[in-house]
Amino acid sequence: MIDLHTHTIYSDGVLIPAELARRARVKGYTDLAFTDHVDFSNLEFVLERLRVACETLADELGMTLLPGVELTHLPPALIGRGVEEARNLGAKIVVVHGESLVEPVAEGTNRAALEARADILAHPGLLTEVEAEMAATNGVFLEITTRRGHALSNGRVAALARKCGARLLLNNDAHTPADLVTDEMAASIAYGAGLSPEEWAGMRENARRLVEEKR
C-alpha cells in the first residue's frame, strides 16, 4: 500500500510522525507521505519538522517517507504561490485541498490547483469536465479518497478521469489510526467508485511511479 495524503499532530492528526509511520508499516504500507494542513503562517514550520521525521525514520522502518503539505482553504489567487513556496522549502508532495462537498472551500480552488500543477488535487468534490481535462493536460493526479464525507464524490471523479484521461490515486487522508485501510478495503472503495480491477491496478502503479519520481 502507498498513501500520499496523511496528517500528523503538526496539523489536525492525532499521531506523531513516528507512530503514524509505524502503524502504517504494520498494516503493510511501504510508502507514506506526511502532508499536514498548511497556509503561509505555518508552511516552513511544518515542513522542517516533517523533513526531520522522514530523514530519521525511513531507514529504520524500511519505508519510503516523504515530507509534504496540503495547502488548505487558501484563497485561489494564492494557491500558485503556495505550491511554489512549498516546493522551494523542500516539499516532495504538494497536495491541494479540493472543493470537497463537506467543507466550504472557495470556488475556484480546483482550477487554481490544476493551473499551479500541484501534485495531487485532493477530494475535488463536483469536479467539472473542464477541470478533469486540465488535470490530464497538466499532469495533476486526482484523488479517490477513503475518507468519510470527502468520498461522496468518488464516483464522479472516477468517471470524469476516465473520460478525460486524467490520472488517479487512492489516498486515505488519514488523521487517526482507524483511517488507515487495508489493501482489500482500498480495492473495495475503488470498485465502489466504479473503477475496474485494471483501473485499480493502474492507480497503484500511478502511486508507485510518483513515489519513484519524488524520492
Average pLDDT of the chain to the nearest whole number:
97
User: Can you tell me which residue has the cell 486540465?
Assistant: 134
DSSP-derived 3-state class of residue 145:
strand
Task: Residue 129: give its domain's CATH number.
Answer: 3.20.20.140
Strand ranges inside the chain, DSSP E: 2-6, 31-38, 64-71, 93-97, 120-122, 141-145, 168-171
Given a cut of 70, the residues of the chain with pLDDT beneath it are none
Q: Alpha-carbon distance 103 to 98, whole Å?
A: 9
8-state DSSP, 174:
B
Q: Which domain holds residue 32?
A: 2-214
User: The pTM is what?
Assistant: 0.97
Q: Alpha-carbon distance 196 to 203, whole Å?
A: 11
Into how many domains does the chain fold?
A: 1
Which residues are paired to 37 by β-bridges?
70
Q: What is the pLDDT of residue 145?
A: 98
pLDDT over 70, % of the chain: 100
122-167 tens-digit pLDDT: 999 999 999 999 999 999 999 999 999 999 999 999 999 999 999 9
